[in-house]
Amino acid sequence: MQKHALNADDVTGRESLKFFIELQDLKSPLLNFQTRGRDKWRIMHGWLVSEARVRP
């Protein structure tokens, strides 16, 4: 995703999922948070939507 320029108004769930998968592939410490049994993708997507970084 670093190589792709994205306009914040046009980012969709698909692009955010690609970002999440890249973080997983890189074993990023950004994904080292407790989920209490919930799906990390859903949590992270919810954060992005709540911060208006992705369209709902």
CA distance 11 to 25: 21
Which tokens sit at 5?
Answer: 């320029």
pLDDT tens profile 3-16: 555 556 677 778 88
Residue 2's pLDDT band (cuts 50, 70, 90):
low
Output DSSP code: residue 34.
-
Q: What is the pLDDT of residue 12?
A: 79
Average pLDDT of the residues of the chain? 82
The residue count for the chain: 56
Overall pTM > 0.85:
no
CA 9 remoteness from chain centre:
15
Average pLDDT over residues 30-50: 90
Does 3 or 17 have the greater pLDDT score?
Answer: 17
CA distance 20 to 4: 14
